[in-house]
Amino acid sequence: MQFIDLKTQYLKLKEEIDTRIHQVLDHGRFIMGPEIGEVEEQLAEYVGCKHCLTVSSGTSSLEIALRALDIGPGDEVITVPFTWISSAEVVLLVGAVPVFVDIDPKTYNIDVSQIEAKITDRTKAILPVSLFGQMPDYSAINEIAQRHQLAVIEDGAQSFGATRDGQRSCGVTPIASTSFFPAKPLGCFGDGGALFTDDDSLATRMKAIRTHGGIQRHHHPYVGTNGRFDTLQAAVLLAKLPSFQWEVEQRGKIGARYSALLSDVCEVPHIEAGNTHVYAQYTIRLNNRDEVAAHLKADGIPSAVYYPKCLHEQPVFEPFGSKLGDFPESEKASREVLSLPMHPFLSEQDQDKVVASVANAVAKGAS
């Protein structure tokens, strides 16, 4: 059994993917070829947003967003300590200070009620993460941000395809970012990401930063980077997009089936009212997580821990003064979470094996 099955997806879409890749090999415009504009148009339409800019990774998209907002030394950006390192690493990359806010233990997303206490006159942006595949309350977050004149950047690397009150992830904040790393809900065959905004001037600026800070060739008004998405990867996404919504629905069904079978055994994902969940990770919670993971492994079932250590416990964030105990819900989650095999092609038979193994582990003494 595999944790994420990319092979089955490739075989299902092989003809379309191979054709699209060969079209790029034939026209030879590997950098910013016509597939880039084509996929950006489709992604913007899917999300319901005016501008989409594809970029070289989810991490570089977040960095470009911060640079476009002129965030740098002396500035603070609010984010969470329970996430992939990129969300706060980019704040360090632009020379600003990450300020952590603890998570809501039910959804693992930012605890919105704790944001305002962390805002200072140096705060420039709130960078919440839509962790594991569902969005936090962005209307409340946007409202706080507006009151304090802050930017909001959704880190939607794990939530592409998810909705809140009918609106899609990456379409509800002034700027949003996603990732096309192969294991994400919409993955390409390498690194990639995208930025979304309705704001024309921010879009122009982010576009310039993506290509060395230039708007015209050989004129560089901004500090930029090489953040372009590969044409070949755009071709892969174009082949995958027509079935993406079907995959999102499969993910939802498979996640719901896990929850129905496991809700008496362990704590299953809590979906907030108004949300749909894409289960980038199907994550359960157990007080003897490591024993259960070992039991699964002995049964030949892969599992993973996202994330075994909070960001404030990582050496790179030590200079910012947080200590163990500062973010109790994040720290507790990092000890208790376990993600199970999850992908749109997971069979009921395999799912039943996972469920039986978790149930046996828990009954054995575990929980």
Ligand X SMILES: *Cc1c(COP(=O)(O)O)cnc(C)c1O
Least distance CB 138 / ligand X (angstroms): 15
Report in angstroms the alpha-carbon separations of 231 from 39, 188, 215. 10, 11, 20
Least distance CB 27 / ligand X (angstroms): 26
The reply to whether 342 sits near ligand X by the rule CB under 6 A is no
> Cβ closer to ligand X: 59 or 357?
59
Binding mask 191-220 for ligand X (x = CB under 6 A): x-x---------------------------
Least distance CB 103 / ligand X (angstroms): 13
Encoding tokens for residue 76? 């603070």
Query: Which is the catalytic residue, given 12, 14, 124, 184?
Result: 184
The reply to whether 334 sits near ligand X by the rule CB under 6 A is no
Encoding tokens for residue 351? 């799912």
* Interface stretch with ligand X, choices 53-61, 292-300, 334-342, 350-358 (CB under 6 A): 53-61
Count of residues that bind ligand X according to CB under 6 A: 15
The reply to whether 58 sits near ligand X by the rule CB under 6 A is yes
> Cβ closer to ligand X: 307 or 357?
307
Least distance CB 66 / ligand X (angstroms): 13
Residues in region 129-148 near ligand X by CB under 6 A: 129
SS (H, E, C) 272-339: CCCEECCCCCEEEECCCHHHHHHHHHHCCCCCECCCCCCHHHCHHHHHHCCCCCCCHHHHHHHHHEEE
Residue 292 identity (one-letter amino acid): V
Is 184 considered catalytic here?
yes
Least distance CB 153 / ligand X (angstroms): 11
The reply to whether 83 sits near ligand X by the rule CB under 6 A is yes
Q: Which residues contact 76 (CB under 8 A, 6 or more apart)?
A: 96, 97, 98, 99, 120, 122, 123, 124
Q: Quickly tell me which residue has 């509800």 as its tokens.
A: 172
Residue 272 identity (one-letter amino acid): E
* Interface stretch with ligand X, choices 26-34, 80-88, 203-211, 308-316 (CB under 6 A): 80-88
* Interface stretch with ligand X, choices 57-65, 98-106, 138-146, 160-168 (CB under 6 A): 57-65
The reply to whether 79 sits near ligand X by the rule CB under 6 A is no
The reply to whether 248 sits near ligand X by the rule CB under 6 A is no
The reply to whether 155 sits near ligand X by the rule CB under 6 A is yes
Which strands make up the sheet holding 163-164, listed edge to edge? 167-168, 163-164, 275-276
* Interface stretch with ligand X, choices 16-24, 118-126, 152-160, 341-349 (CB under 6 A): 152-160
Which helix (H) or strand (E) segment holds residue 152: the answer is strand 151-155
For residue 117, the 8-state DSSP code is G
Residue nearest to ligand X (CB): 58
Q: What are the contacts of 35-39 at 24+ separation with CB within 8 A?
A: 35/231, 35/234, 35/235, 35/238, 36/228, 36/229, 36/231, 36/234, 38/234, 38/238, 39/234, 39/237, 39/238, 39/241
Of 186, 122, 124, 180, the closest CA to residue 152 belongs to 124
> Cβ closer to ligand X: 161 or 361?
161
Residues in region 261-300 near ligand X by CB under 6 A: none
Distance of CA 130 to the CA centre of its chain: 6
DSSP string, 58-116: HHHHHHHHHHHTT--TT-EEEE-SSS-THHHHHHHHTT-EEEE-PBPTTTSSB-GGGTG
> Cβ closer to ligand X: 54 or 59?
59
Least distance CB 101 / ligand X (angstroms): 15
The reply to whether 158 sits near ligand X by the rule CB under 6 A is yes
The reply to whether 111 sits near ligand X by the rule CB under 6 A is no
**Residues with catalytic roles:** 184
Residues that bind ligand X (CB under 6 A): 57-59, 83-84, 86-87, 129, 155, 157-158, 179, 181, 191, 193
